[in-house]
Amino acid sequence: MDPVAIRTLQEMKRQGRKIVGVVAWDTPMAAIAERAGADLVSAGDSVGVNLWGRAEDEPVSIAEMLIVCKAVRRGVKRALLSCDLPSGSLDDARRLVEEAGADIVKVYGSPKMIATMTSAGIPVFAEFHGGRPVAELVAEARRLEEAGAALLDFRHSGPDAGAAVAKAVSIPVLGGLGGGPWLDGRMRMAHAAIGYAASWLDSQAETYANVARISYQALNEYVADVRAGRQLKGQRRG
Protein backbone atom coordinates (compact mmCIF):
# COMPACT_ATOMS: atom_id res chain seq x y z
CA MET A 1 0.00 0.00 0.00
CA ASP A 2 1.11 3.56 -0.69
CA PRO A 3 2.22 5.66 2.28
CA VAL A 4 -0.46 7.88 3.79
CA ALA A 5 0.21 11.56 3.07
CA ILE A 6 -1.58 14.67 4.29
CA ARG A 7 -3.33 14.92 0.94
CA THR A 8 -4.55 11.31 1.46
CA LEU A 9 -6.39 12.34 4.62
CA GLN A 10 -7.78 15.46 2.96
CA GLU A 11 -9.10 13.32 0.11
CA MET A 12 -10.68 10.94 2.63
CA LYS A 13 -12.60 13.89 4.08
CA ARG A 14 -13.85 14.87 0.63
CA GLN A 15 -14.99 11.30 0.04
CA GLY A 16 -16.67 11.05 3.44
CA ARG A 17 -14.35 8.24 4.60
CA LYS A 18 -13.56 8.28 8.31
CA ILE A 19 -9.92 8.76 9.35
CA VAL A 20 -8.46 6.51 12.04
CA GLY A 21 -5.84 7.97 14.37
CA VAL A 22 -4.01 6.07 17.11
CA VAL A 23 -1.77 7.55 19.81
CA ALA A 24 1.28 5.35 20.47
CA TRP A 25 4.49 5.86 22.42
CA ASP A 26 6.74 2.96 21.44
CA THR A 27 7.89 0.98 18.42
CA PRO A 28 5.90 -2.25 18.94
CA MET A 29 2.59 -0.49 19.58
CA ALA A 30 3.09 1.84 16.62
CA ALA A 31 3.75 -1.13 14.33
CA ILE A 32 0.68 -2.96 15.63
CA ALA A 33 -1.53 0.12 15.18
CA GLU A 34 -0.36 0.56 11.61
CA ARG A 35 -0.89 -3.10 10.77
CA ALA A 36 -4.39 -2.88 12.26
CA GLY A 37 -5.20 -0.15 9.74
CA ALA A 38 -4.51 3.21 11.39
CA ASP A 39 -4.18 6.06 8.89
CA LEU A 40 -2.37 8.32 11.35
CA VAL A 41 -0.16 7.38 14.30
CA SER A 42 0.47 10.13 16.82
CA ALA A 43 3.40 10.23 19.25
CA GLY A 44 1.66 12.19 21.98
CA ASP A 45 3.03 14.11 24.93
CA SER A 46 0.39 12.25 26.94
CA VAL A 47 3.20 9.72 27.38
CA GLY A 48 4.29 11.58 30.52
CA VAL A 49 1.10 10.87 32.46
CA ASN A 50 -0.17 7.70 30.84
CA LEU A 51 3.03 5.68 30.44
CA TRP A 52 5.61 7.30 32.73
CA GLY A 53 3.26 7.96 35.65
CA ARG A 54 3.92 11.67 35.94
CA ALA A 55 1.60 14.19 37.53
CA GLU A 56 -0.55 16.26 35.18
CA ASP A 57 1.57 19.36 35.76
CA GLU A 58 4.91 17.70 34.91
CA PRO A 59 5.58 18.62 31.28
CA VAL A 60 7.38 16.47 28.74
CA SER A 61 10.49 18.11 27.32
CA ILE A 62 11.47 18.36 23.66
CA ALA A 63 14.40 16.01 24.36
CA GLU A 64 11.93 13.40 25.64
CA MET A 65 9.55 13.94 22.72
CA LEU A 66 12.41 13.40 20.29
CA ILE A 67 13.06 10.00 21.89
CA VAL A 68 9.37 9.04 21.79
CA CYS A 69 8.88 10.28 18.22
CA LYS A 70 11.95 8.39 16.98
CA ALA A 71 10.69 5.22 18.65
CA VAL A 72 7.28 5.52 17.01
CA ARG A 73 8.90 6.35 13.68
CA ARG A 74 10.71 3.00 13.76
CA GLY A 75 7.34 1.23 13.94
CA VAL A 76 5.54 3.31 11.31
CA LYS A 77 6.22 2.68 7.63
CA ARG A 78 2.91 3.51 5.90
CA ALA A 79 0.77 5.65 8.23
CA LEU A 80 1.23 9.40 8.63
CA LEU A 81 3.32 10.16 11.72
CA SER A 82 2.32 13.09 13.93
CA CYS A 83 4.46 14.18 16.87
CA ASP A 84 3.34 16.54 19.63
CA LEU A 85 5.29 19.75 20.13
CA PRO A 86 5.55 20.48 23.87
CA SER A 87 6.61 24.09 23.25
CA GLY A 88 5.84 26.82 20.78
CA SER A 89 9.39 26.83 19.43
CA LEU A 90 9.94 26.80 15.69
CA ASP A 91 13.37 25.25 16.23
CA ASP A 92 11.83 22.44 18.29
CA ALA A 93 9.21 21.82 15.60
CA ARG A 94 11.96 21.61 13.00
CA ARG A 95 13.84 19.09 15.14
CA LEU A 96 10.78 16.82 15.33
CA VAL A 97 10.64 16.76 11.54
CA GLU A 98 14.33 16.66 10.69
CA GLU A 99 15.72 14.56 13.57
CA ALA A 100 12.78 12.40 14.61
CA GLY A 101 11.08 11.92 11.24
CA ALA A 102 7.67 13.44 11.98
CA ASP A 103 5.46 13.95 8.92
CA ILE A 104 3.41 16.58 10.73
CA VAL A 105 3.76 18.38 14.07
CA LYS A 106 0.81 18.71 16.46
CA VAL A 107 0.63 22.16 17.98
CA TYR A 108 -1.61 23.82 20.54
CA GLY A 109 -1.19 27.49 19.79
CA SER A 110 -2.39 30.63 18.08
CA PRO A 111 -2.98 31.06 14.34
CA LYS A 112 0.08 33.34 14.31
CA MET A 113 2.28 30.55 15.70
CA ILE A 114 0.88 28.08 13.20
CA ALA A 115 1.40 30.52 10.32
CA THR A 116 5.04 30.91 11.37
CA MET A 117 5.58 27.16 11.30
CA THR A 118 3.77 26.51 8.03
CA SER A 119 5.66 29.40 6.40
CA ALA A 120 8.85 27.60 7.43
CA GLY A 121 7.64 24.47 5.63
CA ILE A 122 6.52 22.53 8.71
CA PRO A 123 3.12 20.80 8.32
CA VAL A 124 0.88 21.48 11.33
CA PHE A 125 -1.82 19.46 13.04
CA ALA A 126 -3.52 22.21 15.07
CA GLU A 127 -5.25 21.43 18.36
CA PHE A 128 -8.05 23.51 19.86
CA HIS A 129 -10.69 22.93 22.51
CA GLY A 130 -14.46 23.14 22.76
CA GLY A 131 -16.64 24.43 25.57
CA ARG A 132 -17.44 27.75 23.87
CA PRO A 133 -20.24 29.00 21.61
CA VAL A 134 -20.45 27.19 18.27
CA ALA A 135 -19.96 30.35 16.21
CA GLU A 136 -16.78 31.14 18.12
CA LEU A 137 -15.39 27.64 17.56
CA VAL A 138 -16.21 27.71 13.86
CA ALA A 139 -14.44 31.07 13.54
CA GLU A 140 -11.36 29.72 15.32
CA ALA A 141 -11.25 26.63 13.14
CA ARG A 142 -11.36 28.80 10.03
CA ARG A 143 -8.54 30.99 11.36
CA LEU A 144 -6.41 27.90 11.98
CA GLU A 145 -7.10 26.65 8.47
CA GLU A 146 -6.26 30.06 7.00
CA ALA A 147 -3.01 30.06 8.99
CA GLY A 148 -2.02 26.90 7.14
CA ALA A 149 -3.01 24.03 9.42
CA ALA A 150 -3.34 20.79 7.46
CA LEU A 151 -5.39 18.93 10.11
CA LEU A 152 -7.38 19.92 13.19
CA ASP A 153 -7.61 18.08 16.52
CA PHE A 154 -10.86 19.33 18.06
CA ARG A 155 -10.96 18.35 21.74
CA HIS A 156 -14.31 18.13 23.57
CA SER A 157 -16.20 19.01 20.42
CA GLY A 158 -19.72 17.79 21.16
CA PRO A 159 -22.15 16.88 18.37
CA ASP A 160 -23.31 20.41 17.58
CA ALA A 161 -20.00 22.27 17.49
CA GLY A 162 -18.17 19.23 16.08
CA ALA A 163 -20.49 18.85 13.13
CA ALA A 164 -20.50 22.61 12.46
CA VAL A 165 -16.70 22.87 12.50
CA ALA A 166 -16.19 19.78 10.32
CA LYS A 167 -18.57 21.28 7.75
CA ALA A 168 -17.06 24.77 7.92
CA VAL A 169 -13.47 23.86 6.99
CA SER A 170 -12.00 21.92 4.09
CA ILE A 171 -9.30 20.19 6.15
CA PRO A 172 -9.94 17.03 8.21
CA VAL A 173 -11.20 17.53 11.75
CA LEU A 174 -10.29 14.70 14.11
CA GLY A 175 -11.22 14.30 17.75
CA GLY A 176 -9.63 12.64 20.72
CA LEU A 177 -11.08 13.50 24.12
CA GLY A 178 -14.80 14.13 23.83
CA GLY A 179 -14.91 13.47 20.10
CA GLY A 180 -17.56 11.52 18.24
CA PRO A 181 -18.78 10.24 14.88
CA TRP A 182 -19.78 13.78 13.88
CA LEU A 183 -16.12 14.52 13.08
CA ASP A 184 -14.03 13.43 10.08
CA GLY A 185 -12.13 10.93 12.21
CA ARG A 186 -11.16 9.86 15.70
CA MET A 187 -7.99 9.78 17.80
CA ARG A 188 -7.58 7.26 20.62
CA MET A 189 -4.66 6.22 22.76
CA ALA A 190 -3.73 2.63 21.94
CA HIS A 191 -3.37 1.91 25.66
CA ALA A 192 -6.93 3.12 26.29
CA ALA A 193 -8.34 1.09 23.39
CA ILE A 194 -6.76 -2.14 24.62
CA GLY A 195 -7.13 -1.57 28.37
CA TYR A 196 -3.42 -1.50 29.13
CA ALA A 197 -3.09 0.14 32.55
CA ALA A 198 -3.13 -1.15 36.11
CA SER A 199 -6.50 0.56 36.60
CA TRP A 200 -8.05 -1.86 34.10
CA LEU A 201 -7.35 -4.86 36.34
CA ASP A 202 -10.52 -4.25 38.33
CA SER A 203 -12.43 -2.14 35.83
CA GLN A 204 -15.74 -3.27 34.37
CA ALA A 205 -15.79 -0.47 31.79
CA GLU A 206 -16.25 -1.49 28.18
CA THR A 207 -13.17 -1.42 25.97
CA TYR A 208 -11.86 -3.39 23.00
CA ALA A 209 -9.68 -5.63 25.19
CA ASN A 210 -8.33 -5.90 28.71
CA VAL A 211 -4.61 -6.33 28.21
CA ALA A 212 -3.95 -5.43 31.84
CA ARG A 213 -5.85 -8.51 33.01
CA ILE A 214 -4.22 -10.76 30.41
CA SER A 215 -0.78 -9.43 31.37
CA TYR A 216 -1.49 -9.98 35.06
CA GLN A 217 -2.57 -13.56 34.47
CA ALA A 218 0.50 -14.32 32.36
CA LEU A 219 2.90 -12.78 34.86
CA ASN A 220 1.14 -14.53 37.71
CA GLU A 221 1.78 -17.87 35.97
CA TYR A 222 5.42 -16.87 35.41
CA VAL A 223 5.82 -16.09 39.12
CA ALA A 224 4.30 -19.49 40.01
CA ASP A 225 6.65 -21.35 37.64
CA VAL A 226 9.74 -19.65 39.07
CA ARG A 227 8.62 -20.33 42.65
CA ALA A 228 7.98 -24.00 41.81
CA GLY A 229 11.28 -24.47 39.97
CA ARG A 230 9.61 -25.24 36.63
CA GLN A 231 11.02 -24.40 33.20
CA LEU A 232 9.60 -21.17 31.83
CA LYS A 233 7.18 -21.18 28.90
CA GLY A 234 8.70 -19.97 25.67
CA GLN A 235 12.27 -20.20 26.98
CA ARG A 236 14.84 -22.14 25.03
CA ARG A 237 16.21 -25.15 26.86
CA GLY A 238 19.92 -25.70 27.34
Quick: pLDDT tens for 16-64: 999 999 999 999 999 999 999 999 999 999 999 999 999 998 999 999 9
- Range of 224's domain? 198-228
Structural domain includes residue 128: yes
Q: Is residue 44 part of a domain?
A: yes
Measured between alpha carbons, how far is 136 from 24 in angstroms, rounded to an integer?
Answer: 32
Q: Residue 46: CB partners within 8 Å, gap ≥ 6?
A: 23, 84, 189
* Average pLDDT of the segment spanning 73-82: 98
114 and 212 both lie in a single domain: no
**C-beta of residue 102 within 8 angstroms of C-beta of residue 74:** no
pTM of the model: 0.94
Distant-in-sequence, close-in-space partners of 80: CB < 8 Å, separation ≥ 6: 3, 4, 5, 6, 8, 9, 39, 40, 41, 103, 104
* CA dist list (Å): 40 to 20, 28, 59, 107, 215: 6, 15, 24, 16, 27
Angstrom distance (rounded) from CA 207 to CA 111: 36
Q: Look at residue 235 and tell me if it is in a domain.
A: no
- ∠ CA 155-189-75, rounded to 5°: 125
Residue 46 covered by a domain: yes
Q: 169 falls in which pLDDT band (50, 70, 90)?
A: very high
Q: Is 236 a member of any domain? A: no
Which candidate, 33, 35, 37, places its Cα nearest to that of 12? 37
Which has the closest alpha carbon to 156: 187, 178, 126? Answer: 178
**Is 56 inside any structural domain?**
yes
Same-domain status, 110 and 205: no
Same domain for 35 and 131? yes
Q: Are residues 122 and 136 in the same domain?
A: yes
Q: Is residue 119 part of a domain?
A: yes
90 and 43 part of one domain: yes
pLDDT of the residue at 237:
61
Same domain, 61 and 178: yes
Helix or strand or coil: residue 128?
Answer: strand
| CATH code of the domain in which 96 resides | 3.20.20.60
4 and 80 in contact (C-beta within 8 Å)? yes
Residue 238: pLDDT above 70? no
Distance of CA 205 to the CA centre of its chain: 22
- Same domain for 206 and 108, yes or no, is no
Counted domains in the chain? 2
pLDDT (0 to 100) of residue 171: 98
Mean pLDDT of the 65-78 span = 98
- Does 236 have pLDDT greater than 70? no
